[in-house]
C-alpha cells in the first residue's frame, strides 16, 4: 500500500501585527518579519504539512486599499496555478481591515474548493505571550486538513465566514465575532465544523478581481445634514452605503436624508442602507423612518454587515452600472453573505 502524501499548503504573507517589530525611529510597531521568520515560531517540521511560502506585501492593514485586495487575489491565483495540488492557502494579515480583505477575496475567488484562511495576531510574534503562533498553527491546520471549501478567518480558536464577521475588540485575543449565525467551526483538540459551511469540492475556481473602489460608507448620526449625500456624489463616488439606526432607519423629518438620497440616485449613484447594529437585519419596511429611504429608491443591505455591503457593492459596480442588474446582484447571495435572504428573512419591497 502506497504511503499517503503529506498535506501541502501555501503561506502568503501580507504584513500586519503578527509580523510587526519595534521601530526605534518612530517608537512604534511596524510590519517587519518575513514569511520564513513567521514559520520559525511554529513547531519544527509541522508534522505532515509541507509549507510553500510567498511574500506578497509588507503592510499595516490600516493602510490597505482595494487594489491590495486585488493583489492578494492575484497571489492566490498565481500560487494555485504554480502548485495545483495545494490542500489550502493561509494568508497572514493585519486585524484592522482583515474582514474587508477576506470578504473581498471571498467575492473575487469563488468556487476555490479548498480553504483560503486569513489569520493574524493581536500581539506581535516577537512578544513571548503573542497569540500569533497559536493562530498561525490553527490556520495551517484548517488549510491542510479541514473539510472546508471557502474563504474564512481563523482566530482565537474559531473559524469565521468573513462576510458574517466583525472585529469587535481592539485589545483582546478574541478580536472577531460572527454575527447571525454562529462561526463556521471551532478549534480545540479536534477541528469541529458546522453543517452550514461549504465543504471541499472540485469545481473550477473563478477568479474575478474587477472592482469599483468609488464606494463611500456614511454613518448616520443625529444632526447629519442631508446635503452631504449629493456632495459625496460630486466627489466622484458611484455608490454609498448608509449605516442607518436600528433596522436601517434614517431621519425623515428635521434633517431628513430622503431628499439627499433621491438626488444622489438621480445622479446615477447607488445607495444601500445598512444597520449600525452588529446583530440583526436591515428592514426598511418596518418603520416610516426606514420607508423614507426605500420610497426614494435606496436599496436594503438585508442581513449583510456594513463591511460586507461596502465590499460587495464595490465588486458589483466593478461588473455593471445598470440599475436593474445592480439591484439584482446586490440582492443575490453569492458566498453566504446573506444567509437569511429567501429563508426566514423578509426582503424589503
- Residue range 111-155, pLDDT digits in tens: 999 999 999 999 999 899 999 999 999 999 999 999 999 999 999
Mean per-residue pLDDT, 1-28: 85
- Joined together, the cell numbers standing for residue 14 give 501580507
Cα separation values, 10 from 44, 111, 226, 314, Å? 17, 18, 48, 28
Cross-strand partners of 239? 215, 270
Instruction: Report d(CA 197, CA 151) in Å as an integer.
Output: 10
Annotated catalytic residues are 17, 95-96, 167
* pLDDT per residue as tens digits for the range 243-272: 999 999 999 999 999 999 999 999 999 999
Query: What was the pLDDT predicted at 347?
Result: 44
Q: Would you place residue 278 in the very low, low, confident or very high pLDDT band (cuts 50, 70, 90)?
A: confident
Task: Flag the least confident range among 9-13, 28-32, 127-131, 202-206.
Answer: 28-32
* Domains of the chain (ranges, CATH numbers): 7-207 (3.40.50.1170), 215-330 (3.40.50.40)
Say what percent of the chain tops pLDDT 90. Answer: 80
Instruction: Report d(CA 137, CA 130) in Å as an integer.
Output: 13
First-to-last CA distance in the chain? 61
Cross-strand partners of 160? 153
* pLDDT per residue as tens digits for the range 325-341: 999 999 999 999 998 76
- Provide the whole-model pTM: 0.93
Indicate whether 3 pLDDT > 80. Answer: no
The chain-wide mean pLDDT, for the chain, equals: 92
Indicate whether 178 pLDDT > 90. Answer: yes
Amino acid at each position: 500500500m502506497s504511503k499517503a502524501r503529506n498535506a501541502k499548503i501555501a503561506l502568503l504573507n501580507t504584513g500586519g501585527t503578527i509580523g510587526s517589530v519595534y521601530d526605534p525611529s518612530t517608537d512604534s510597531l511596524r510590519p517587519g518579519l518575513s514569511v520564513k521568520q513567521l514559520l520559525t515560531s511554529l513547531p519544527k517540521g509541522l508534522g505532515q504539512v509541507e509549507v510553500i511560502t510567498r511574500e506578497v506585501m509588507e503592510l499595516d492593514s490600516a493602510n490597505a486599499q482595494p487594489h491590495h485586495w486585488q493583489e492578494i487575489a492575484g497571489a492566490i491565483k498565481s500560487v494555485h496555478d504554480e502548485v495545483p495540488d495545494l490542500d489550502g492557502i493561509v494568508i497572514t494579515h493585519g486585524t484592522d481591515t482583515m474582514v474587508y480583505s477576506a470578504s473581498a477575496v471571498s467575492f473575487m475567488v469563488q468556487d476555490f474548493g479548498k480553504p483560503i484562511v486569513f489569520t493574524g495576531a493581536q500581539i506581535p510574534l516577537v512578544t513571548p505571550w503573542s497569540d500569533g503562533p497559536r493562530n498561525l498553527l490553527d490556520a495551517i491546520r484548517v488549510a491542510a486538513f479541514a473539510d472546508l471549501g471557502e474563504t474564512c478567518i481563523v482566530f482565537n480558536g474559531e473559524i469565521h465566514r468573513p462576510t458574517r464577521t466583525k472585529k469587535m475588540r481592539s485589545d483582546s485575543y478574541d478580536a472577531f465575532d460572527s454575527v447571525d449565525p454562529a462561526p463556521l467551526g471551532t478549534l480545540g483538540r479536534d477541528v469541529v465544523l458546522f453543517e452550514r459551511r461549504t465543504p471541499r469540492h472540485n469545481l473550477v475556481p473563478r477568479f474575478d478581481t474587477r472592482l469599483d473602489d468609488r464606494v463611500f460608507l456614511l454613518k448616520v448620526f443625529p444632526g447629519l445634514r442631508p446635503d452631504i449625500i449629493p456632495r459625496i456624489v460630486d466627489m466622484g463616488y458611484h455608490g454609498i452605503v448608509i449605516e442607518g439606526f436600528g433596522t436601517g432607519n434614517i431621519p425623515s423629518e428635521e434633517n431628513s436624508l430622503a431628499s439627499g438620497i433621491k438626488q444622489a440616485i438621480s445622479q446615477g449613484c447607488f445607495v444601500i442602507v445598512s444597520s449600525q447594529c452588529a446583530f440583526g437585519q436591515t428592514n426598511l419596511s418596518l418603520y416610516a423612518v426606514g420607508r423614507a429611504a426605500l420610497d426614494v429608491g435606496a436599496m436594503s443591505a438585508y442581513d449583510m454587515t456594513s463591511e460586507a455591503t461596502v465590499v460587495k457593492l464595490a465588486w458589483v459596480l466593478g461588473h455593471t452600472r445598470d440599475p436593474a442588474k445592480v439591484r439584482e446582484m446586490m440582492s443575490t447571495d453569492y458566498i453566504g453573505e446573506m444567509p437569511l435572504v429567501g429563508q426566514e428573512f423578509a426582503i424589503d419591497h
